[in-house]
Amino acid sequence: MKLLFVADPLESFKTHKDSTFAMMREAAARGHTLMACEPKDIRWQRGEAVTAFVRDITLTGRPGDGHGGDWFHAAQQAPDERPQPLNGVDAVLMRKDPPFDSEYFYATHLLSQAEREGARVFNRAAALREHPEKLAILEFPQFIGPTLVTRDASDIQRFHAEHGDIICKPLDGMGGAGIFRVGPDGLNLGSITETLNQHGRVTVMVQKYLPEITQGDKRVLIIGGEPIPFALARIPQGSEIRGNMAAGGKGVAQPLNDHDREVARSIGAVLAPRGLMLIGLDIIGRCVTEINVTSPTGFQEVTQQTGFDVAQRFIDVLEGALA
């Protein structure tokens, strides 16, 4: 198969923990052909198919530290990437990290046009648009804790008065960026609200603080509608409230408990048929807090700690979808 990965710059990959790299490594081991580009490399012109300017890559077996390209060899270098119609590859894997900004949104529209022309995109472009990671939980109120989505400061004050200890976060953040906790004393609630909602111009999410975060913010990966048997509990360190790995959290793989398995299967049964082959649920205690669909991570941490090969499962499902 010919696989095109739409991702962040390859030179930025830290291969010891990057899930997209794990996918590439497993695909290459099976003899599949790898190509890569960034969203900015995709274009459409009347009379032509949606095309990406790609690099044909092979893996070298050397590590990448996020500052160079030793881990791969590219047959082309900028500005001489090769034009590749997206309907001329077997699968396009959209793995661009958030934020889900206007440029990401536009990229999904180009990918939708490519799908109309015959391309196969995973996760599907329309499904990415329809399930922004913070807001996708609104469809599943039975699985979430007290949550408010608003741009109104007085509404946030009311929510705080009702629940006492809250988390405020932007809708377009990733890796724990921009997350604030406001305790019962309400200290700095006004300032935090102004920072996040930009004086009422931007919508934010507010959730009741879940003390179970001390046991970890569990990432549950769902592939082809079925959860893998292990969760990655991302445990905050020191005085930090965020378990995100990017914020210094410690990732501890653990067997999936019955509750989380049932929740994951219920959500997977709804979302997988919409074209979401890969989903990353975030669960604190018994509450789903986010549904990640753009570029869910955790493959390598789970595999290294448990021996369960997540990338192998993913490529198995991808091959089955393309058969």
- Per the annotation, the verdict on 134 as an active-site residue is yes
- Per the annotation, the verdict on 242 as an active-site residue is yes
Question: Which tokens belong to 208?
Answer: 């009741």
CB 292 within 8 A of CB 282: yes
Residue whose structure tokens are 């082809």: 224
Catalytic residue among 81, 217, 290, 301: 290
- Per the annotation, the verdict on 130 as an active-site residue is no
- Per the annotation, the verdict on 282 as an active-site residue is yes
Q: What is the CA radius of gyration of the chain?
A: 20
Three-class SS state of 74: strand
DSSP secondary structure letter of residue 154: H
Catalytic residue among 134, 208, 218, 313: 134
DSSP secondary structure letter of residue 11: G
In 3D, which of 12, 53, 59, 8 has the Cα closest to residue 32? 59
Catalytic residue among 25, 219, 301, 313: 219
Catalytic residue among 124, 208, 218, 242: 242
Rounded to whole angstroms, the Cα distance separating 222 from 278 reads 6
- Per the annotation, the verdict on 234 as an active-site residue is yes
CB atoms within 10 A of CB 306: 16
Catalytic residue among 25, 55, 124, 169: 169
Question: Which tokens belong to 288?
Answer: 């789903």
Catalytic residue among 18, 133, 217, 282: 282
In 3D, which of 53, 54, 70 has the Cα closest to residue 62? 70
Catalytic residue among 123, 197, 244, 292: 292
Task: Please count the helices (runs of H) and the strands (runs of E) in the chain.
Answer: 8, 17
Catalytic residue among 234, 260, 301, 313: 234
Dihedral (Cα; 177, 310, 70, 294), 10-degree rounding:
-40
Cite the active site residues: 134, 169, 219, 234, 242, 282, 290, 292
